Amino acid sequence: MANDLPETAPAYTRVMLKISGEALMGPQGFGLHPPTVERIAREVKSVHDLGVEICMVIGGGNIFRGLQGSAQGMERTTADYMGMLATVMNALALQSALEGLGVFTRVISAITMNEVAEPYIRRRAVRHLEKKRVVIFAAGTGNPYFTTDTAATLRANEMNCEAIFKGTKVDGVYDKDPAKHADAKRYDSITYDEVLAQHLGVMDASAIALARENDLPIIVFSLDEPGGFLGILAGRGTYTKVG
């Protein structure tokens, strides 16, 4: 709708959206919840319609989490590769939802699987963004021992994104869990070093350090808030800026 659009140009022109696999579960305890996947796709489309170039990384924790598999006795590298495959499944699900809304989308996998996704070639990925296609990076970095947070930060730097948007269940970064503590304080902004020193769990330490080294801001917002992603690009909404 016209009144949903910003009066000025979007705050960023190319962004990375990082969401967890759990975000796709909706009210379920496992797997994919199609209405939730479609809702997130509509959120992405609303921002894409502004002309913002969007790339994405989705976790795989709704299907399989490598660390949990490792904790239960599975060999760590095998567990991590299984987690990477779960991210491909999520990427394909979101691609289907986006293309159902008329948004051209490419899934690019760090693990070669030509029948379902393109291999990661940086210049090709950049060209997709320039052609206004949504690019979903799957299979993490292609290496065990690295999280999808680190993969998102790595790809965001490689794609020259202006910010990482980290979609969570809360509307920013708090000094403690707001679901458990009524007096939890939300930060409007916080530095990378403060996040690391206070162990705030925005992203893992490797991702935060990589963002800090490249001066890449991280915008933490609620993915459960309708229009939240669009609102921040339009200069409103509640969020925390890490930078």
Structural domains of the chain, ranges and CATH numbers in brackets: 2-242 (3.40.1160.10)
What pLDDT was estimated at residue 216?
97
Tell me the angle at which helices 122-130 and 148-158 cross, rounded to the nearest 10 degrees. 70
The predicted structure's pLDDT at residue 2: 41
Residue type, 153: T
Is 154 or 10 the better-scoring residue by pLDDT? 154
Residue type, 120: Y
The mean pLDDT value for 111-121 works out to: 96
**pTM, full prediction:** 0.92
Sign of the dihedral through C-alpha 112, 115, 116, 121: positive
